[in-house]
């Protein structure tokens, strides 16, 4: 999945000024225009420049402490009995309402006030609180019903506009469109650039335009690229695109980001983004399923080739159908085994895509398949010459191991995957090489971690692995190193690591001491103790061979 940018002009996103575009209600101005309040001959005596405030609800009351009952955004209707009789009480009443964040105060003139007190008006002006006096009596219940109905209609209008975006996105998908078309519709609706990021903040797609027609990728680089861990700009909309599939409940597959760089974003844009996120989740899931099915299909082909179910004569034609056209190049088989380190939920499609993208830079033909049941990734590469085997193996192994991390397929604390590189050759050699590498990757589990193993150097480990269930192998290990195992279970320091290091350095004591961080005399004492426990001479070639085999075999026996 690459980074794309574009824009689709398809919807009119002009603002409806009857409704508050930044909140979920109507404006004070709209409330005053409704028949209920209009019939009271409203006069604005303070806050005339604040009539675009949001009215989210209407409340009527006559108690002095009414502010404690409010949450903010209300239009308060009163006849003034709770305002108090003294200027100090009236000023305090208005200040507490302003601090609570109500939208406006509407006072009906009548028995309590024939005109609003100066203290009330002056305090409202100072606090920036819209203050309205009604010159005629109005039924507060009628005003409440009208405004609440208008608010509900506003909610419905928002939902309708968001539903229209959802409908257009669905139609685009049914017409063969994909992620870029969905983002383009959302970008045009919001009037701002829209981005799809991975859960860790990498950009996947971009749509729309930045200020003055700027490329959306420039906008993303300026505002998101280097600041993925920082909060987005104020007024942005971020919506998670959920994951799916077994083991991924509650996971986030991607993130939809709307940045308000051309115009403010409104609640309707968040609603539309949430609807679009649901569609994108389906699109990404479908793409991932298709990718995984294709990767499994290639894995089945490579497994059939390895197990001899496809002949060397038929393999090239079938490989061409899968997009692999190495020509006369030598073929290099590579197998990675994840094994028990595999996390629940898979991630095979992500792994296959990540590795394929990385290997595209190698410049050689690549056929990659997965076998989830065995926990394997099988790769066949077309080399330009056999001399580049080692360099290509380095790149392939790095890409495979990085792909496992990117796909989140390793359990915390689990051993790294094993990568085995076979022998380069023709199609017949590729068949045997894949089979050999696959078996060897299993046999190599538990060896000292390396970027990759040469299959030719692990034949002894493979042979021992094949004998793992034979009782003679366990008996051999017990005879050869049993006394050392018993010693290490009850005494310190353990001696098996010393013996392993000594044999790995072909009996070179200076190198062994350096690796173990021991002085020479301490090493000599340990080697003497090992010879004493085993009753053998560590300088005898046959003894060294037997001990080396036993140390390698002990991974495969209880």
pLDDT higher than threshold 50 for residue 23: no
| Mean pLDDT for the stretch of residues 58-62 | 89
pLDDT tens-place string over residues 105-123: 999 999 888 899 999 999 9
What pLDDT was estimated at residue 244?
Answer: 54
At 4, the pLDDT band (50, 70, 90 cuts) reads very low
DSSP 15: -
Longest dimension (CA), the chain: 117
pLDDT tens-place string over residues 321-338: 788 889 888 999 999 998
Fold adopted by 174-286 = Beta-Lactamase (3.30.450)
What pLDDT was estimated at residue 306?
Answer: 93
Exposed e or buried b per residue across 68-82, where buried means at least 16 C-beta atoms within 10 angstroms of its C-beta = eebeebbbbbbbbeb
pLDDT higher than threshold 60 for residue 2: no
DSSP 310: S
The tally of CA atoms less than 13 A away on the side-chain side of residue 447 is: 24
Q: Which residue has the higher pLDDT, 163 or 132?
A: 132
Q: Where in the chain is the domain with CATH 3.30.70.100?
A: 307-460
Q: How far apart are CA 54 and CA 73, in angstroms?
A: 6
| Mean pLDDT for the stretch of residues 426-449 | 89
At 76, the pLDDT band (50, 70, 90 cuts) reads very high
pLDDT higher than threshold 90 for residue 124: yes
Handedness of CA 384, 388, 394, 395 (dihedral sign): negative
Q: How far apart are CA 355 and CA 534, in angstroms?
A: 48
What pLDDT was estimated at residue 24?
Answer: 56
Parallel, antiparallel or unpaired: strands 104-108 and 74-78: parallel
What pLDDT was estimated at residue 228?
Answer: 61
What pLDDT was estimated at residue 137?
Answer: 92
What pLDDT was estimated at residue 302?
Answer: 94
Q: Using an 8 Å Cβ cutoff, are 351 and 370 in contact?
A: yes
Q: Which residue has the higher pLDDT, 144 or 7?
A: 144
| DSSP string of 444-490, one letter each residue | TTTSPP-S-EEGGGGHHHHHHHHTTT-HHHHHHHHHHHHHHHHHHHH
Q: Using an 8 Å Cβ cutoff, are 9 and 188 in contact?
A: yes
Q: Which of 36-50, 245-259, 394-408, 441-455 has the lowest mean pLDDT?
A: 245-259
Q: Using an 8 Å Cβ cutoff, are 75 and 59 in contact?
A: yes
CATH superfamily of 40-137: HprK N-terminal domain-like (3.40.1390.20)
At 162, the pLDDT band (50, 70, 90 cuts) reads confident
Q: How far apart are CA 367 and CA 382, in angstroms?
A: 9
Helices (H), 360-426: 389-406
- Report the percent of the chain where pLDDT is more than 90: 32
Q: How far apart are CA 190 and CA 473, in angstroms?
A: 70
Pick the CATH number of 307-460 from 3.40.50.300, 3.40.190.290, 3.30.70.100, 3.30.1540.10: 3.30.70.100
Quickly count: other Cβ atoms within 10 Å of residue 208's Cβ.
Answer: 27
At 464, the pLDDT band (50, 70, 90 cuts) reads confident
Quickly count: other Cβ atoms within 10 Å of residue 49's Cβ.
Answer: 9
- 3-class secondary-structure state, position 378: strand
Q: How far apart are CA 225 and CA 223, in angstroms?
A: 6
Q: Which residue has the higher pLDDT, 90 or 229?
A: 90
At 33, the pLDDT band (50, 70, 90 cuts) reads very high
Q: Where in the chain is the domain with CATH 1.10.10.2840?
A: 471-556
Exposed e or buried b per residue across 246-256, where buried means at least 16 C-beta atoms within 10 angstroms of its C-beta = eebeeeebbbb
Quickly count: other Cβ atoms within 10 Å of residue 177's Cβ.
Answer: 17
What pLDDT was estimated at residue 226?
Answer: 62
Q: Using an 8 Å Cβ cutoff, are 515 and 523 in contact?
A: no
Q: Which of 113-127, 214-228, 410-424 has the lowest mean pLDDT?
A: 214-228
Angle of helix 118-127 versus helix 87-100 axis, rounded to 10: 30
Parallel, antiparallel or unpaired: strands 26-27 and 104-108: unpaired
pLDDT higher than threshold 90 for residue 491: no
pLDDT tens-place string over residues 222-263: 777 666 667 778 888 889 888 754 334 456 778 898 988 888
pLDDT tens-place string over residues 494-511: 999 999 899 888 889 899
Exposed e or buried b per residue across 8-41, where buried means at least 16 C-beta atoms within 10 angstroms of its C-beta = beebebeeeeebbbebbbbbbbbbbebebbeebe
Q: Which residue has the higher pLDDT, 18 or 377?
A: 377
- Report the percent of the chain where pLDDT is more than 70: 91
pLDDT tens-place string over residues 340-367: 655 445 578 888 888 888 887 778 899 9
Q: Which residue has the higher pLDDT, 33 or 555?
A: 33
Average of per-residue pLDDT values in the chain? 84
pLDDT tens-place string over residues 370-399: 888 888 999 999 998 888 999 999 999 999
Q: Using an 8 Å Cβ cutoff, are 400 and 419 in contact?
A: yes
At 449, the pLDDT band (50, 70, 90 cuts) reads confident
pLDDT higher than threshold 80 for residue 554: yes
Q: How far apart are CA 279 and CA 241, in angstroms?
A: 9
| Mean pLDDT for the stretch of residues 398-423 | 85
The tally of CA atoms less than 13 A away on the side-chain side of residue 241 is: 25
What class, spelled out in words, does domain 471-556 have in CATH? mainly alpha
pLDDT tens-place string over residues 163-210: 888 888 888 878 777 788 888 899 998 888 988 887 777 777 778 888
Handedness of CA 85, 87, 88, 90 (dihedral sign): positive
What pLDDT was estimated at residue 290?
Answer: 66
The β-bridge partners of 105 are: 76, 131
Rounded to 5 degrees, what angle do the CA atoms 241, 19, 75 make? 110
Q: How far apart are CA 296 and CA 369, in angstroms?
A: 6
Q: Where in the chain is the domain with CATH 3.30.450.40?
A: 174-286
Q: How far apart are CA 347 and CA 407, in angstroms?
A: 5
Q: Which of 58-67, 240-249, 301-310, 381-390 has the lowest mean pLDDT?
A: 240-249
């Amino acid at each position: 999945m690459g980074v794309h940018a574009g824009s689709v002009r398809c919807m009119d996103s002009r603002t409806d000024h009857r409704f508050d575009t930044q909140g979920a209600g109507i404006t004070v101005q709209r409330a005053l225009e409704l028949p209920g309040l209009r019939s009271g001959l409203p006069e604005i005596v303070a806050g005339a420049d604040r009539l675009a405030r949001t009215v989210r609800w209407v409340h009527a009351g006559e108690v002095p402490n009414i502010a404690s009952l409010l949450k903010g955004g209300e239009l308060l209707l009163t006849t003034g009995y709770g305002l108090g009789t003294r200027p100090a009480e009236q000023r305090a009443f208005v200040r507490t309402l302003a601090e609570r964040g109500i939208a406006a105060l509407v006072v009906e003139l009548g028995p309590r006030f024939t005109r609003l007190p100066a203290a009330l008006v002056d305090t409202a002006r100072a606090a920036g609180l819209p203050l309205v006096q009604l010159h005629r009596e109005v039924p507060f219940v009628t005003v409440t019903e009208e405004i609440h109905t208008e608010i509900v209609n506003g909610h419905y209008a928002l939902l309708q506009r968001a539903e229209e975006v959802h409908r257009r996105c669905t139609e685009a998908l049914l017409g063969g469109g994909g992620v870029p078309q969905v983002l383009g519709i959302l970008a045009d609706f919001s009037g701002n650039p829209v981005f799809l990021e991975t859960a860790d903040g990498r950009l996947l797609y971009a749509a729309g335009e930045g200020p003055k027609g700027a490329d959306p990728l420039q906008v993303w680089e300026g505002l998101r690229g280097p600041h993925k861990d920082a909060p987005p700009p104020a007024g942005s909309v971020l919506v998670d695109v959920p994951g799916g599939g077994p083991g991924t409940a509650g996971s986030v597959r991607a993130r939809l980001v709307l940045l308000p760089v051309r115009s403010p974003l409104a609640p309707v844009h968040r609603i539309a983004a949430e609807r679009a996120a649901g569609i994108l989740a389906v699109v990404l899931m479908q793409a991932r399923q298709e990718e995984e099915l294709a990767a499994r299909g290639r894995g089945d082909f490579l497994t059939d080739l390895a197990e001899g179910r496809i002949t060397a004569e038929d393999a090239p034609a079938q490989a061409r159908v899968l997009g692999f056209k190495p020509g006369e190049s030598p073929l290099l088989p590579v197998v990675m085994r994840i094994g028990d380190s595999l996390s629940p939920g898979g991630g095979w499609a992500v792994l296959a895509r990540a590795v394929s993208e990385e290997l595209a830079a190698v410049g050689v033909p690549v056929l990659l398949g997965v076998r989830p049941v065995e926990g394997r990734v099988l790769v066949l590469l077309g080399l330009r010459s056999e001399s580049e085997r080692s360099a290509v193996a380095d790149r392939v192994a790095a890409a495979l191991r990085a792909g496992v991390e990117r796909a989140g397929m390793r359990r915390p604390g689990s051993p790294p995957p094993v990568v085995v590189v076979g022998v380069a050759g023709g199609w017949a050699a590729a068949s045997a090489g894949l089979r050999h590498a696959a078996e060897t990757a299993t046999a190599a589990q538990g060896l000292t971690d390396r970027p990759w193993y040469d299959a030719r150097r692990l034949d002894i480990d493979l042979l021992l692995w094949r004998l793992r269930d034979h009782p003679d192998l366990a008996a051999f290990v017990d005879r050869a190193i049993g006394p050392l195992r018993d010693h290490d279970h009850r005494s310190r320091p353990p001696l098996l690591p010393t013996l392993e290091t000594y044999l790995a350095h072909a009996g070179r004591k200076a190198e062994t001491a350096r690796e173990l961080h021991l002085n020479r005399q301490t090493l000599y004492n340990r080697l003497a103790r090992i010879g004493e426990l085993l009753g053998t001479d560590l300088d005898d070639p046959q003894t060294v061979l037997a001990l080396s085999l036993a140390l390698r075999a002990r991974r495969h026996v209880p």
